Amino acid sequence: MENYKKNLKMLQDGHVYSKEMEHDACGVGLIASTEGKKSRKVVEYGINALKAVWHRGAVDADGKTGDGAGIHIEIPSDFFAEKIEITGHNHDGSEICVGMIFLPRNNYEAQENARTIFESELTKSNFSIYGWRQVPVNPKVLGEKANLTRPEITQILFKHNDKNLTEKELERKIYESRRKIEKEAIKNAIKDFYICSLSSKSIIYKGMFLAESISDFYEDLKDERFISRFAIFHQRFSTNTAPSWDLAQPFRAIAHNGEINTLKGNFNWMKVHEQQMDSPLFDDMENLKPVIPPGSSDSASLDSVFELLNISGHSAPLAKLMLIPDAWSKKSKTLPKDHLQLFNFLNSTMEPWDGPAAIAATDNEWAIVATDRNGLRPMRYTITKDKILCAGSETGMVEIDEKKIVKKGRLGPGEIIGVRIAKGKVFTNKDIKDYLAKEFKHFNNQIIDLDKKFPIKNEKSIFSGEELKKRQHAFGYSLEDLELILHPMAEDGKEAIGSMGDDTPLAVLSDRYRPLYHFFRQNFSQVTNPPIDSLRENKVMSLKTRFGNLGNILDFTNLTKENIYVLDSPILSNSQLEKFINFFGQNSKTIDCTFSKEENLEGAIERIQRDAEISVRQGLTQLVLSDKNISNERLPIPMLLSVGAVNTYLIKKN
């Protein structure tokens, strides 16, 4: 510590150090017992670690308002048993269920409505309510903005009347009840209502205070009876959404450092998966939809899907590999074969939520930390002789005697380390993937590699000369595109690299013809320069394309009755396309995506949608949308428009 201070002083004196440089990203981490015993030390380490990463959050001009900090721990039974006695009830030894709830502070009518909805839904689901508890807080530690937006913070204490329910069954009942309560609150337009946690296993304390103020604001956390086998903590540095009390982390399953750059696509794909979701574990699947509540941030959206997978029986490590997969390739010489088979299967079930991302997560059976395939968010860990795993955004979050350290290191891209909470056993990255690979070994039989079936042979071009030029012109290829972009790609196998700047006007403002594709732009900083290259960056990127994989993500044994087809690239050669259509034979339908001068564009799109619906209702599973029939009489509908129209239409029709 003395050396650190000396070095810091030298940097400050040399005008190299700048305090602003410290505010770089969220602080996230996990403290877990590696012997399966609840202790006060785990909670205190978690609080101290959160306070140590204060510099990773933003601070408002008032100096006291943060943009979110919190801690996720197990429910301290002795503490809440006493609170039940205060309500006038006797605790009969059954599992204590606790909800941590934000209510609108200055709207008493809305508060009562929210409480009524809560009590009504819980009672309908065979729960008994002990009572409500006002959470003691110290608003003096808050900044002006945090205090102005501060919700009424309350807890509900309850139990389930069926004592024969297993722990997992009880959590599922609570989860389904929470989803019904949330939907009912939206229906009744109750604003500023949020359920931080509702569980028989764990509880979350969070808010818009500075990280160092968490135990001053929430007086509960100072109680010695607050013991736990894990503590997940998070200090938020807001990137894509404005700070608010409900968007502070941790969320119910994860705490996340980074951004999800594929968010809009993930949200839309989840809408598609919702149609196939089915599980006998839940009373009514409609209670769980939409899986991602409206208005969720990227982290909250990821959390919602992660939590659903956990509740339906997929463990935290499995959910991580489904949602935030490893970088892998069938050609890899370093990855074990069974790991490759595992990744191949899991990547065929869900679309990746691509970060940068580092997460700490729990399903109340596992507590894990992990990174995404790029490894662009740091995650370091330490395992000690006194049976503690500390993992987080940086080292030194908890002061540990070097002599007590058994092992320390950092997670590489895509790696996981975790603890089986009840057993208290540490599982390394290899342990976890070996365990899962063994469990899901037999699921690879449904995956068919079409590249092996359709090798490129006897390739012939269909158009040349004048006919080719006409089509290039019709589809918006200029001479500049052909010479400066396509020519070097064809000749050297390299992506063309232009200047750093782009002075091309937005398509909507351009006075030249611009194809529909040019009207679409990335939402925020997802840009690399030079372009991402799937050949030279194949360790983290591939063009692998799957279809037939929209099965039931909640139940792998009934994932899909159909085969899952895989292609190494979304681009087919002419000979491959022909073989492709012949392979599916009568199970596919080609829909004409051109229109005549007599038929307007809107009418043509409606025709395509109708043809698609009829084909699907007839049981066909492959639709081929083709603009091949263009001529002097027939104009092409932009394929982006055709695919989007069919996709959204079929989703609406379920």
Whether residue 567 lies inside any domain: the answer is no
Counted domains in the chain: 1
Give yes or no for a contact between 65 and 208, defined as CB atoms under 8 angstroms apart: yes
Give yes or no for a contact between 7 and 361, defined as CB atoms under 8 angstroms apart: no
97 assigned to active site: no
Domain with 131 in it: 76-200
- Residues 98-141: tens digit of each pLDDT: 999 999 998 999 999 999 999 999 999 999 999 999 999 999 99
Whether residue 159 lies inside any domain: the answer is yes
The model carries a pTM of: 0.87
- Residues 286-344: tens digit of each pLDDT: 999 999 998 888 999 999 999 999 999 999 999 999 999 988 877 777 888 889 888 88
Q: Supply the CATH number for residue 81's domain.
A: 3.30.70
Helix/strand/coil (H/E/C) assignment for every residue in 127-194: EEEEEEEECCECHHHCCHHHHHCCCEEEEEEEEECCCCCCHHHHHHHHHHHHHHHHHHHHHCCCCCCE
pLDDT at 15 over 80: no
Query: 524: which DSSP letter?
Result: S
Whether residue 452 lies inside any domain: the answer is no
Q: Which of 82-86, 230-234, 330-334, 458-462 has the lowest mean pLDDT?
A: 330-334
Whether residue 164 lies inside any domain: the answer is yes
Phi-psi region of 419 (alpha: psi -120 to 50; beta: other; left: phi over 0): beta
The H-assigned helical ranges of 440-559 are 450-453, 465-474, 479-480, 487-492
Cα(654)–Cα(651) distance, integer angstroms: 5
Whether residue 342 lies inside any domain: the answer is no
Whether residue 459 lies inside any domain: the answer is no
Residue with tokens 């599973």: 621
* Residue 524: Cβ-neighbour burial (10 angstroms; 0-12, 13-18, 19+): exposed
pLDDT at 22 over 50: no
Cα(195)–Cα(184) distance, integer angstroms: 13
Whether residue 95 lies inside any domain: the answer is yes
Whether residue 283 lies inside any domain: the answer is no
Q: Which of 26, 196, 390, 593 does the annotation list as catalytic? A: 26
Give yes or no for a contact between 307 and 171, defined as CB atoms under 8 angstroms apart: no
Cα(486)–Cα(450) distance, integer angstroms: 27
Sheet-wide strand order for 152-160: 127-134, 152-160, 97-103, 194-199
Q: pLDDT tier at 21 (50, 70, 90 boundaries)?
A: very low
